[in-house]
Structure 1
Amino acid sequence: MKVTVERELAGRTLSITSGELAKQSSGAVLVQYGETVLFVAVQTGPSREGTDFFPLTVDYRERLAAAGKFAGGFLKREGRPTTREILTCRLTDRPIRPLFPDGFRDEVQVCANVLACDGENEPDVLTTIGASAGLMLAPLPFQGPIASVRVGRLDGELKLFPTHQEILESDLDLIVAGSKESVLMIEGFGAQIPEDEMADAIMYAHKAIVEICEMQDEFVKKMGAEKTVYEGPGENPFTDVIKKEGYDKLKKAKQNTSKQLRHEQGAAVREELIQKYFPEGTDVASNGGTIPQLKEAFYKCEKQVVRDLILEGKRLDGRAPDDLRGVTCSVGMLPQVHGSAVFTRGETQSMATITLGTSRDQQRTDSLFGESSARFMLHYYFPSFSVGEVRPIRGPGRREIGHGCLAERSVEPVLPPADKFPYTIRVISDILESNGSSSMASVCSATLGLMDAGVRITQPVAGISIGIVKETNEKYTLLTDIMGDEDHFGDMDFKVAGTQKGITGIQLDLKIDGINEKIIRETLVQARKARIELLKTMLSEIRRPRGEISDHAPRLEQIKINPEKIGLLIGPGGKTIRAIQEETGANLDVEESGLVTVSSSSRAAVDDAIARIEAMTEEIKVGKVYKGRVSSVKDFGAFVEIAPGKDGLCHISELSDGFVKSVSDVCKEGDHLEVKVIAVDDQNRIKLSRKALLVEANGGSDSEAEEE
């Protein structure tokens, strides 16, 4: 039976349909907004033996056929997921995961495919809506519904579900997911948005979320789906035992200020309990419990210890709830590279390396919305040694890609515009140590590195993560600059990046079923306080961007020419532009608008190339001096090429300030002469004079030379 429900939102129709496609799946829906259509299928199955986590997988794919396009390059079939697809998977996974009950271990997979894209309405934000609807139909204990919406801001007005073009013009790109009661996930980027305005935008989004959740309730009712009741595993025989024998020991161990010692002492307590209840060769304890059950009970006790300490006002390292860990910064650490910095906050450390390049180095991508080029990239690397582990080093995972893009988009709003700083910029953030919020450390190290590289950012950016331990809506503790254990055992990781003026990046991840407006606003205020403190420390290391870029960076200048003269600059078959590049050693990139970018490792090469371009493309003006090459010698004078394809006549009487018997006495073909334009007639014939310059050099004037 086919069922469809519809709502009018932001001037377009949102519809959810099921009952016609993928009937063997656990739950499948079509979500359509405008003429963008997304298919989402949910499948569940039993977990594999020994699984001690919730195996949820979200896969999202954008096939270019949805926009009537072929994939570029030799292969016409889509390959591995793109960065955009990976980020959408993360956007969908994060609000769904907390809404399954503790102890649920069945396999759950959400597959989303874009079937049609109208070029206006973004499909990524529809994925959470489709996933929620599909999970509500499946025989799963999903505590939904939830929904996700995008909010933009144009001319100061908030706009729900902005089009692709409106997002590009907006000073805010905010995605919020939530239930009817609370907010579950936030990811947004803006042009230094004040905290109160960002909070207003979040709550504006939540109003639309409530309406879409009500729409899903209607949909599920029409489909006749019933909520699945989850009966958790039986009582763990070790729950009370571990709490009685291990709680106090763990409480003491967890108050050690060193991460490594906390873990070692906690592991020692666990090993002591294992040895007590499972002597050598024993698989089952006297109470009927197993080692996995003991480990599970120990983890729950450890979590309760950490949470109790925090609610008592005792953080693991002794800080107050709103205190930062110790911060140190340094710049210019590495030779040869174009800029570098190390930012350390507690036991989290990021090293940023900056590379400056030309437009040829931009990252080009193809998507449903056409080709695009990125002049700024931030790549995040998280090696295993940063957390004291050993594992194979392979390509970047979803987490690394997500953290890198969060830091990238948080820093991007303060970069100088391309017309003022035409470099392509790449930042590498290597995490050398990690104990909480390495993505926000990457924001700080990137800012310091860019300033060290001489990139004229408009404002420095810093980032911090705020956590929470929440018992009720009234009983909770907000934690500034959370450590790994506080993140792991706490309920929230709320990252906020920005300048002294406002927020540039924001990301919320929760392990609970949502937070309210009061907590959101308090978090943003607490994050601002920490951010200002961080900025003061960072600026004490480097006050402003360096006045010059590194000697090792390419020299790059831009010049605008008349677009009608692009052909003249390029020359037949590219002959002229190749000659300039070969003779000067500079590289030239010409855009259709007439913008020419000149780059070289040598400033002299750039200046030489620009001088040649100017001479070739500008209008010849009377009184201007050129250094030209004698192209031919006649009895009556010499023809001098003052620019490629532009010759002027220097009459024999204008070759010298004295008597000239023969042109060959002064110059021959191939010689270089400095000449001055003294006239351009109606037929654009150019008259040149060497004598005028000689007279001026001797203290005379042009008029004196002409009178003689």
Structure 2
Amino acid sequence: MTNGPIRVEREISGVRIAIETGQVARQAGGSVILTLGDSKVFAAVTAGKAREDIDFFPLLCDYREKNEAGGKIPGGFFKREARPTTKEILTMRLIDRSIRPMFPDGYKEEVQVLTHALQYDGKNNTDVAAMIAGFAAVRISGLPFDATLGAVRVGRVDDEFVVFPEDPVRREESTLDLVVSGHEGGLAMVESSAKQLPEEVMVDALECAHKVILEVVSLIDELTEKVGKPQAEFNAPAVDEALKAQVFEREEAMTTAVRTQGKQDRHDALAAIKNECVATLTADCDGDDLGARTKTIKNMLHDLQQHVERECILSGTRVDGRAHDKIRDITVVPGFIERQHGSALFTRGETQALASVTLGTPDDEQVIDGIEPEYKKSFYLHYNFPPYSVGETRRIFGPGRREIGHGMLAERALMAVMPTREQFPYTVRIVSDIMESNGSSSMASVCGGCLAMMSAGVPVSQPVAGIAMGLVKDGDREAILSDILGSEDHNGDMDFKVAGSGVGITALQMDIKIKGVSRELLSTALEQAREGRIHILRKMLEAVPGPAPEVSDYAPRMETLKIPGDKIGFLIGPGGKNIKAMQAQYSVRISILDDDGNVQVFGTDSTQVKACKDAIEASTQTPEVGTRYTGTVRSVRDFGAFIEILPGVEGLCHISELAHGFVGQVTDVVNVGDEVEVEIINVDDRGKVKVSHKVTLPGGEEGESDGGDRRDRGGRGDRGGRRRERSGASD
């Protein structure tokens, strides 16, 4: 084993990747600093003692983006990072889903894989870097790990795959965002969003990803060899073969039980067998022996149930009697909650999602802030999985990692068909509440969410459906399952969720527990998933043929307009005075979208919304010669009247422009507060406005007022003549 800093480095697909160890966190079981481009991520792995009081592997994977990595200071009162962001949680899940299957069955030592971003270069995202760093730290730690893992991100620009795409390219140009982990034996985990790509393109992308993963694996193996730490051996507890034989005597009864129709009835039948088995085989035990033997028997019963279910599937018929490619019965109830902006109840077998859509304003956009540049989301989906959906009780907390992950998968599936802001200026929020669950609740959220959006009048470019698939493989025997149950998910060798339209795939998620899944098998599985997806889409379109032509009566009304950019300040007013007054007067919300002057007005009353729009247009338009207004006299002077033609804009109507004949005093024609029609006759370089009332009167023509100043008007006409006559008479 080598002491001191160790570094390995190579260029992979045009990106420099370096891994260092031995300089920091030397008391951890394994620690590395990984550099991808100029982004850096730290990872450390530690292990505790085995816990015999549990029947699961206590693995914790954590990822954090420290604000200093992006040159930022956290907001808020405490100026410190708090709970993990959605991106951090999703990255934790990417690491966990990749690593967990690689530890041996029965391993119960507490393992922590902690990663955080040290530096972000603005191009190379730190999520995949954290995955590779975590895999490397585990590999050099000496823990009993089945294989070296690698990870990669693949994009697609101009029909060409791009490996480790830079963030600006990934966000703005790529039609694919694919994150894959794997080993020499194949793929381990897949997470992807796409813009309706064909199945074969996805298979090609996975094949491209695996080739790059092998290079990453080679780099980590080079580091592992230089570190030279021996890998610990794990010896699984000895199996009591005699006791196992007694438990497996109930295989026939277990087979009958697992074929019981209905989730709850099946659960009761299985519980009866398990209770009988435990009671019979522990009759002679007491004290500590009773607890230990009971636990052993329950583990064996779990293995027996798994064996029986897999054999049922491989023999041709699933536990609920369906063929491998059969989809459960589907029912759709659009508009299930009448006063919501859009809703749908989607039921597939014993899985049910109630999806609700709420339409909001640009002010309702979600602000995403982290080490990357801040941006806003006008579409987001929240997924809830309450305990009653599976007939259980548990403490109620906020959304867990699983709920965050499932919600984001459904959101990505629908994002590809969302209209642009120009096509549909609303902010869209979907909430999917799982009312029942027996497999594939995230894909039910995709179906329900799409139906709810169409019910709400969101003009999606294509309807989208999702389906959960499974694979059971034993030697040469294999079965690809459509629309899997919860138990088939648990007992299978691969589960994958595919969402998309009739055009192509919009989201893909895979968790692969075995090695050696061939390209042909992946292609067959994705084709079967496509057929199932098309079947589900047909059922959905029977209930909701397309987006509603208009938004719900309960949704906010919206009007869009554009004002001159230099009028934005006037619309807002000092301290927001003007915009607040308008919002209060018309009971609306006004959103200024950008510095170009694009404005949206939202409200529940379409009449008020339209009136507010008209008022904004009137108050922000630029006065032009020849335009007529009905204005209000604001003040009177000897030489004329000042008339407000627009909010905050007054024009001078000279006494000579008040009427055709002689006007002795301004107040002979108008007084303060009068409403009069005027026409703009001049706007000078300083923006001063002159108006005429007489050209709007019968017999008035635009030619009667030239719009110039007084010295340009020549003689005084009638008024001058009359004064001379009066002057002569007095003489």
C-alpha separation between the residues in 1 aligned to 2:448 and 2:524?
26
Structure 1 residue 228, shift from structure 2 partner: 3.0
After superposition, the Cα gap between the structure-2 partners of 1:460 and 1:701, relative to the gap in structure 1 and judged at 3 Å, is farther
Q: Provide the residue aligned with 1:398 in structure 2.
A: 401
Separation in 2 of the partners of 1:257 and 1:437?
Answer: 18
Residues 118-141 of structure 1 show CA distances to partners (whole Å, capped at 9, x for unaligned) of 221111102221222122222322
Query: Is 1:186–2:190 an aligned residue pair?
Result: yes
2:470 aligned to 448, 454, 467, which one? 467
Task: Choose from 213, 217, 221 the match for 2:217.
Answer: 213
What amino acid sits opposite 1:544 in the alignment? G
From 3, 19, 24, the equivalent of 1:21 is 24
1:242 equivalent in alignment to 2:244: no
Q: Is the 8 A contact 1:4 1:16 kept in 2?
A: yes
Q: Deviations over 1:43-75 (max 9, x none)?
A: 112222321111111011111111221101211
- Equivalent residue in structure 2 for 1:90, among 76, 89, 93: 93
Q: Tell whether 2:669 aligns with 1:629.
A: no
Distance 2:522 2:639 in 1: 85
Distance 1:271 1:646, change over 3 A: same
Q: Which runs of 5+ in 1 are unaligned?
A: none
Match of 2:293 among 271, 290, 309: 290
Amino acid of the residue matched to residue 242 of structure 1? V
State yes or no: 1:226 paired with 2:240.
no
Match of 2:329 in 1: 326
Identity %: 45
2:553 to 551, 571, 574: 551
Q: What amino acid maps onto 1:464 in structure 2?
A: I
Amino acid at match of 1:127: A
Q: Which amino acid aligns with 2:136?
A: A
After superposition, where does 1:17-166 map in structure 2 within 5 Å?
17-166=20-169
For residues 97-123 of structure 1, what are the alpha-carbon distances to aligned partners after superposition, in whole Å with 9 as ceiling and x for unaligned? 111122222211111121222221111
Pairwise CA distance, 1:585: 3.0
Paired residue secondary structure (1:421): coil
What corresponds to 1:267 in structure 2?
A: 271
Equivalent residue in structure 1 for 2:532, among 508, 518, 530: 530
Matched-pair contact (CA < 8 Å) for 2:185–2:515: no
- Asked if the contact 1:340–1:449 (Cα under 8 Å) also holds between the matched residues in 2, the reply is yes
How far is the alpha carbon of 1:705 from its aligned partner? 10
Whether the 8 Å contact between 1:436 and 1:484 is mirrored in structure 2 is yes
Q: Tell me which of 517, 522, 525 is aligned to 1:515.
A: 517
1:314 aligns with 2:317: yes
Structure 1 pair 389–655 and aligned structure 2 pair: CA distance change class (3 A): farther
SS in 2 for 1:46: strand
Q: What's the CA shift for 1:466? A: 0.6
Is 1:577 the counterpart of 2:579? The answer is: yes
CA distance in 2, matches of 1:445, 1:551: 21
Corresponding residue to 1:198 among 202, 215, 235: 202
Q: Contact 1:186–1:509 at 8 Å: present in 2 too?
A: yes
Aligned to 2:488: 486
User: Distance in 2 between the 1:387 and 1:468 partners?
Assistant: 24
Shift of the 56–692 alpha-carbon distance from structure 1 to 2, 3 Å rule, reads: same
> Secondary structure at the residue paired with 2:322?
coil
Write the distance in 2 (CA, Å) between the matches of 1:254 and 1:330. 31
Q: How does 1:583-622 map to 2 (within 5 A)?
A: 583-590=585-592, 591-622=594-625
Name the structure 1 match of 2:505.
503
8 A contact 1:236–1:289 mirrored in 2: no
- Secondary structure at the residue paired with 1:414? coil
Contact 1:586 1:599 in 2 (8 A): yes
Question: Does the CA-based 8 Å contact 1:283-1:290 persist in structure 2?
Answer: no
Provide, for residues 381-436 of structure 1, a one-character-per-residue CA deviation record: whole Å limited to 9, x for no partner. Answer: 10000001011111111101111111111111211111232222111110000000
Q: Tell me which of 372, 381, 385 is aligned to 1:382.
A: 385
Displacement of 1:76 in angstroms is 1.5
Q: CA deviation at 1:555?
A: 2.1
SS in 2 for 1:85: helix
CA offsets 1:195-214 (integer angstroms, 9 cap, x no match): 11122111111110011111
Measured at CA, do residues 668 and 72 of structure 1 come closer, stay the same or move farther in structure 2, by a change above 3 Å? Answer: same
Aligned length: 700
**Secondary structure of the structure 2 residue equivalent to 1:290:** helix
Unaligned ranges ≥5, structure 2:
707-731
In the alignment, structure 1 residue 417 sits paired with structure 2 residue 420: yes
User: Taking structure 1 as reference, are residues 176 and 622 closer, same or farther at Cα in structure 2, changes over 3 Å only?
Assistant: same
Structure 1 residue 153 displacement after superposition? 1.7
Distance in 2 (alpha carbons) for counterparts of 1:55 and 1:625: 78
Q: 1:180 to 1:665 in 2, by over 3 A?
A: farther
Q: Calculate the aligned-residue CA RMSD, in Å.
A: 2.7
* Residues 692 and 705 in structure 2, CA contact (< 8 A), matched pair in contact too: no
After TM superposition, give the deviation of residue 582 of structure 1 in Å. Answer: 3.5
Q: Quick one: structure 1 residues 355 and 514, their matched pair in 2 at CA, closer, same or farther if it must change by over 3 Å?
A: farther
SS in 2 for 1:124: helix
Cα deviation digits, residues 478-506 of structure 1 (max 9, x gap): 00000111111112220011111111111
Alignment partner of 2:648 out of 638, 645, 649 = 645
Partner Cα distance (1:117, 1:653) in 2: 71
* Aligned pairs (5 A) from 1:671-686: 671-673=674-676, 675=678, 677=680, 686=689
Cα separation, 2, equivalents of 1:67 and 1:117: 6
Aligned AA for 1:206?
H
Q: Distance in 1 between matches of 2:629 and 2:208?
A: 63
**Which amino acid in 2 is paired with 1:396?**
P
Contact 1:177/1:185 (<8 A) preserved: yes
Report which stretch shifted further, 566-575 or 109-118. 566-575
Counterpart position of 1:347:
350
Give SS of 2:602's match: strand
- The answer as to whether partners of 2:63 and 2:116 remain within 8 angstroms in 1 is yes
Counterpart of 1:565 in structure 2: which amino acid?
Answer: K
Change (3 A) 1:705 1:538: farther
Matched, 1:175 2:195: no
Cα 1:641–1:420 change in 2 (3 A) is farther
Which of 404, 407, 410 matches 2:410? 407
1:256 aligns with 2:283: no
8 Å contact kept, 1:99–1:512: no
1:683 to 1:126, Cα distance in 2 relative to 1, 3 A:
closer
Q: Which residue of 1 aligns with 2:431?
A: 428
Q: Which residue of 1 aligns with 2:307?
A: 304
Query: Residue 659 and residue 480 in structure 1: after superposition, are their counterparts in 2 closer, same or farther (change >3 A)?
Result: farther
- Alpha-carbon distance in 2 for matches of 1:599, 1:676: 32
Secondary structure of the structure 1 residue equivalent to 2:107 = coil
Instruction: Give the distance between the partners of 1:667 and 1:460, measured in 2 at CA.
Output: 63
CA distance in 1, matches of 2:353, 2:55: 31
CA spacing shift, 1:650–1:326, aligned 2, 3 Å: farther
Q: Which amino acid aligns with 1:173?
A: D
Q: What are the superposed Cα offsets for residues 501-538 of structure 1, whole Å, 9 maximum, x if unpaired?
A: 11111111233346332222222211111111111111
The answer to whether the 8 Å contact 1:183/1:516 transfers is: no
